[in-house]
């Protein structure tokens, strides 16, 4: 729809983990709909710079910041940088995440801490950084990318599923805390999506997941991005505290 091209006109957004996969699709979709977009990277500098180049090709401002999302100070500095460069911040999409699988009786403390620090603490760090700004301006959109495995659990993913379930609890709580200031806080829960992480998965994992998908196909990052963009817009102004599944019926 043509009017979607200005859906986010004049808005400024942060997308964590925007250099790869779903994050890249989200960053580009927000720019396509009119937002200036900042992304962070920890290791993938070249990929992040390429995403920003594509953002700028849409006529929007793009910004790339080296920031470890699990570092509280890095998150604060990135938000300050974005406000300085863009003149404000209106949208936060928490997307960056990792997995490091293993059954619980073999999982190391390092595996647990690494996944929780990035997937859950990282989200807290950025929500904490933007919340005072959104509260003062009495507006803002926060979208947290979680997973259907945070709703149902997944064999061999105690750390990942726990982190994604924690994101859902964080989303609902912050929605309650910030709602009276006109701030919407929601989560999007993808199922099996064709990302680099999924491309590297064993065939048995892909086949088992496919057997659960009602629509009988693997989702694409762009399909998640469309839903995130909707949740970042005023079209979703009366939705908060929700978890929207984008999974082709995999959770049914």
Chain center to CA of 189:
10
Q: Which residues are marked as active site?
A: 160
Decide the pairing of beta strands 183-190 and 36-41: unpaired
Contact assessment for residue 142 and residue 124, using Cβ atoms and an 8 Å cutoff? no
Residue 104 CB-density burial (10 A; 0-12 exposed, 13-18 middle, 19+ buried): exposed
Q: What is the pLDDT of residues 107-133, one digit of tens each?
A: 999 999 999 999 999 999 999 999 999
Q: Which residues contact 57 (CB under 8 A, 6 or more apart)?
A: none
Instruction: Give percent above pLDDT 90 in the chain.
Output: 89
Structural domains in the chain, CATH included, are: 2-246 (3.40.50.720)
Chain center to CA of 138:
22
Q: What is the pLDDT of residues 122-173, one digit of tens each?
A: 999 999 999 999 999 999 999 999 999 999 999 999 999 999 999 999 999 9
Residues listed for the chain: 252
């Amino acid at each position: 729809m043509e009017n979607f091209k200005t859906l986010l006109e004049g808005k400024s957004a942060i997308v964590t983990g925007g250099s790869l996969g779903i994050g890249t699709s989200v960053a580009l979709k927000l720019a396509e709909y009119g937002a200036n977009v900042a992304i962070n990277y920890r290791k993938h500098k070249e990929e992040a710079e390429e995403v920003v180049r594509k953002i700028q090709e849409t006529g929007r401002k793009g910004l790339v910041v080296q920031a470890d999302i699990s570092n509280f100070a890095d998150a604060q500095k990135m938000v300050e940088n974005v406000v300085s460069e863009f003149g404000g911040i209106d949208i936060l999409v928490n997307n960056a995440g990792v997995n490091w699988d293993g059954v619980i009786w073999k999982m190391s403390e390092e595996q647990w801490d690494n996944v929780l620090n990035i997937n859950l603490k990282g989200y807290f760090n950025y929500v904490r950084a933007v919340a005072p700004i959104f509260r003062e301006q009495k507006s803002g959109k926060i979208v947290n990318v979680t997973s259907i495995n945070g709703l149902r659990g997944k064999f061999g993913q105690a750390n990942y599923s726990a982190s994604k379930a924690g994101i859902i609890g964080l989303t609902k709580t912050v929605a309650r805390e910030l709602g009276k200031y006109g701030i919407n806080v929601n989560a999007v829960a993808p199922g099996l999506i064709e990302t680099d992480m999924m491309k590297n998965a064993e065939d048995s994992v892909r086949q088992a997941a496919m057997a659960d998908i009602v629509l009988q196909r693997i989702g694409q990052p762009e399909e998640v991005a469309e839903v995130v963009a909707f949740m970042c817009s005023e079209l979703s102004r009366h939705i908060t505290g929700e978890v929207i599944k984008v999974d082709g019926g995999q959770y049914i």
